[in-house]
Amino acid sequence: MASDDGISKQFFVETLQQHTDDICARIDLISQQVSTLTNRVDGLEQAVEHNDKRIADSTNKMATTEASLKLEVESLRESLLLTQTYSRKRNLLVFGIPNDKMDVLGECTKLFVDFLEMAQDHVDNMRFVNYHRLPRMPGNGNRDEPTPIILKFVSMIDRNLVMDAVRKHGPKLRKSRLGIRTDLPPQMKQLRGQLLAKAYKIRAANKGLQTRVNEKGTSVFLQYRVSAADPWKSLGLHENIQI
């Protein structure tokens, strides 16, 4: 009987040992699998961090490239505008001569003498590359309004003498609904028109105020002064006058 008890105990111990070995083996296997998964996760995290850095670097490079391209495009636009401005430098636009006047050059030179008080012999010696009346702009519904005449001078000296006389006799021209202006690219011409309209409004609201619209390079600007003794002050399109 004692022998049977010894055999049972031994069998129990061996069975328990076997189960313990199996459990230990499974724990080792699970540990290896966890270690493998941990390594894979670490690798994935490193890959994600690396990709995040690459994406951040690419984003920064794209932002830098975009900013550089914007500057380059702006520089090209400025160069193009400057080229357009230079190519029109010898041009003048004459406004207010009725459309039924066919001799456009004769009417313009007559204006130089009668309204700008330029010497007849000097005006007779002026030379022009070409001259013609411009077509009516689309959207201009007033068909009775005279279309401008464009003159292209051979000599910048002659052109500048005309503009000097315009600055001197500007009020006389305006009273006769006549005008002479420089020829500008469309965007500068549009801004000048807006500034001229603003100048008219502030003159109407401030009796005796003097205004002028000038251009320099690719800039167009409005200036005003209270009297001839005062310095000229600049006024932006959306600024209010300070007197």
Which residue among 68, 85, 102 closes a domain?
Answer: 85
* pLDDT exceeds 70 at position 21: yes
Q: What is the mean pLDDT of residues 59-76?
A: 84
Q: What percent of the chain has pLDDT over 90?
A: 44
* pLDDT exceeds 60 at position 2: no
Regarding whether 167 and 110 lie in a shared domain, the answer is yes
pTM, 2 dp: 0.67
Regarding whether 124 and 94 lie in a shared domain, the answer is yes
Position 101 confidence tier, pLDDT thresholds 50, 70, 90: very high
Q: What is the dihedral of CA 182, 186, 192, 195, to 10 degrees?
A: 170
Which residue among 62, 85, 108 closes a domain?
Answer: 85
Q: Which domain holds residue 191?
A: 184-243
Q: Round to whole Å and give the CA distance between 197 and 175.
A: 16
Residue 23 or 147, more confident = 147
Which residue among 56, 85, 114 closes a domain?
Answer: 85
Q: What is the mean pLDDT of residues 157-173?
A: 92
Regarding whether 190 and 143 lie in a shared domain, the answer is no
Give the count of domains, the chain. 3
Residue indicated by tokens 């049972």? 8
Tell me the CATH number at 111.
3.30.70.1820
For position 243, what pLDDT does the model report? 66
* pLDDT exceeds 90 at position 56: no
Regarding whether 123 and 151 lie in a shared domain, the answer is yes
